[in-house]
A = this chain, B = another copy of it.
Amino acid sequence: MTQQKRTVFYLSDRTGITAETLGHSLLTQFDGIEWETVNVPFLDDIENAQAVLAQINRAAECDGYRPLVFSTLLKPEILEVIKQANCRLFDFFETFIRSIEEELHQPFVRMAGRSHGLQHHLSYFKRIAAINYVLAHDDGVNPKNFAEADIILIGVSRSGKTPTCLYLGLQYGIAAANYPLTEEDMSSQQLPKVLENVRGKLFGLTLSAAQLHFIRQERRPNSQYASLAQCQREIQWQESLFHLFNIPFLDTTRISIEEISATILNRCGLKRQLYG
């Protein structure tokens, strides 16, 4: 198979998140293509649309293939301009909205910015409160407020607790705390005292010792902390602790922050709202 070089455009009235999410999820199903990505958010006047039309046509000529264009544009006059371009257009709204109108027996409002805009003040404040909670309860800080957490992630240093908590707060409005397991906790096979009353909220993160070693090497090269033997010991200790106290846990070695977060929400049955 020859390596094709192709250009993909994401066109949107607003942030472009929907268009990019759609296109990305489709295009990752094809291998061996080198994608040049052009994001055009906030495309809301004819003049800019004409510039994009020219840009699409140039890419078609330069690549020798017409570009793929994913659009969530809502203004018909902007779309009309883009439709003249030498491209394969995937119009997300046009494709689905009529069937949904039919199903709901009402016309759609055709208003941009509804999906990723600021719709509900209450929900917005809940989200900001969750982010603040995460920041104020990172790495074992303020354990006296752990009772207010929706979830408390535990694991050894560099097991991915902080990025996961931030993601849970920012994308799902979840008040996520995290607590690092130390060598003393683990070698004694005791749960830290501050976690005793919140056992039902605990969720463990683990990973392969080799991966932990690799990550810690980045941080403190050739330290005792980063040594493979130390990583093996800590991982073995913490997994045995998770089993002993019946704490649900997840191996994050080969999965992304999104997958870790979705798994935690699913397994803990947490109510959530997807933002963004």
Contact = CB atoms under 8 A, between A and B. Distances in A.
A166 B163 contact: no
Q: Which of A17, A33, A97 has the most B CB atoms < 10 Å from its CB? A: A17
A4 interface: yes
Given A258-B15, A262-B15, A163 B128 contact: yes
Interface stretch (A50-58, A107-115, A182-190): A107-115
Contact of A42 (B14, B119, B266): B266
Interface in A85-124: 88, 90, 92-93, 95-97, 99-100, 103-104, 106, 108-111, 113-119, 124
Interface stretch (A23-31, A76-84, A144-152): A23-31
B28 A119 contact: yes
Contact of A162 (B20, B116, B135): B135
Nearest to A95: B95
A275 interface: yes
B24 A115 contact: yes
A171 interface: yes
A120 to B, nearest CB: 10
A257 interface: yes
Contacts of A259: 14-15, 113, 116-118
Interface in A21-53: 21-22, 24-33, 39, 41-42
Interface of A: 1, 4, 6, 14-18, 20-22, 24-33, 39, 41-42, 66, 68, 72, 88, 90, 92-93, 95-97, 99-100, 103-104, 106, 108-111, 113-119, 124-125, 127-128, 131, 135, 138, 162-163, 166-167, 170-171, 218, 254-259, 261-263, 266, 272, 274-276
